[in-house]
Amino acid sequence: MDHDNILAAAATALTAQPKSTLEVSAAVAALVAAFVLTQEERYALSAFTQLTDWLPAPISQSHPPPDILELVPIAELARSTSFLVDAVHTDPIDAWLADLLQWLTTAHAPVLARDTKDHRASAWLFLTSAIARSQRNDAILDDCRKRLRKPTLRNQIDETGKFPQEMATANPFRNTLFNFDLLSGACQILDSPLDPLWTFELIDGVSLRTSAAWLFPILQDPRKWPGVSDAEHFRELPGRRPGLLFAGRAYSRPEYVELWHTTPAAIPPDIAASVPIRQPILWTTRAAHGF
């Protein structure tokens, strides 16, 4: 992994005063990634402080309810807490995440998002999978695995690897990349030796492998993008995509991993919300106690 970039991000996060959920998630992920690398407790303690300073009221008490896309950064925040259990007392955070998981799986608004056929459904799957993993909720994890296989792959990916629903939006390139990262992140958290989701494909060959293969030459050269240009921030894309790294590791494609490594790590502010994973090391490393 990118050790120098992780430590640089953590150094910034140590003195940061993040306010938004996206900023808190990015800062906490950087600090926890540095803790994973170095085992220096100062990083874990700072991450815990930033988490507890930010922790809002339970989501179930929010009026009006938040949009599912606003909650996407909490997935990496939840993943981060799995590495803190031996360093700090995470009970308040765990209780807040348990409330959020209950809301995601029972409330009307998130269930509507879950049942769409675009990146909102992927956001639900990514977020719910990450929180269920942090809570060790096997029943919900099993449900998420089933949803990834069917209906998600069938609803979202065509036989060429494209995401037709995203291609029809006002920002098709950004939403395609965002959706690929969301599904790859969900697959990364859900895949297991007993249920190998990365290699799963539908009867006509539709799979995440086909999407990765379709996207790779476009990520190499964005001029090959076959759709219309995005309405906003098209020139700032594609950026460094975590889904490409995960796919490269899963499919033994070193060229994917190399492209990820050679793409600048900085994320332009205007597209930050469309990059759901800042610290892939947290998603490729197994936390203690089976998390």
3-state secondary structure 24-42: HHHHHHHHHHHHHHHCCHH
Specify the DSSP class assigned to residue 201: -
Q: Which of the four pLDDT bands, split at 50, 70 and 90, describes residue 1? A: low
- pLDDT confidence tier of residue 218, bands split at 50, 70 and 90: very high
Tokens of 185: 């992140």
Check whether 117 has a pLDDT greater than 90: yes
pLDDT digits (tens, 9 = 90+) for 89-101: 899 999 999 999 9
pLDDT of 289 reads: 76
**What rounded mean pLDDT belongs to the chain?**
95
Residue 192's φ and ψ, nearest 5 degrees, are: -150, 160
Identity of residue 16:
A
Enter the tokens of residue 106: 């029972």
Q: What is the pTM of this model?
A: 0.97
Q: What is the mean pLDDT of residues 149-155?
A: 96
Residue 63 confidence (pLDDT): 86
Whether the predicted pLDDT of 16 surpasses 90 = no
Hey, what are 71's tokens? 């909650």
- Which residues are 192's β-sheet partners? 195
Q: Quick one: which of 14, 29, 81, 1 has its CA closest to 278?
A: 29
Q: What is the pLDDT of residue 254?
A: 98
pLDDT over threshold 80, residue 11: yes
Query: Quick one: what percent of the chain has pLDDT higher than 70?
Result: 99
Averaged pLDDT for residues 36-49 = 96
Of 125, 201, 187, 117, residue with least CA distance to 155: 117
**Nearest Cα residue to 117 out of 186, 64, 167, 65:** 167
- 208, 198 contact by CB (below 8 A): yes
The predicted pLDDT at position 208 comes to 98
Mean pLDDT, residues 139-160 taken together: 97
* Residue for token pair 């001029």: 223
pLDDT in tens, 190-205: 999 999 999 999 999 9
Give the pLDDT score at 221: 97
**What is the CATH number that goes with domain 3-290?**
1.50.10.100
Phi-psi region for residue 33, left (φ > 0), alpha (ψ -120 to 50) or beta? alpha
Q: Averaged over 240-263, what is the pLDDT?
A: 97
Residue 287 binned pLDDT confidence (cut-offs 50, 70, 90) = confident
Paired strand residues for 195? 192
Residue type at 281?
A: I
The amino acid present at 244, given as its one-letter code, is L
Strand, coil or helix: 251: coil
Per-residue confidence band for 19, with pLDDT thresholds at 50, 70 and 90: confident
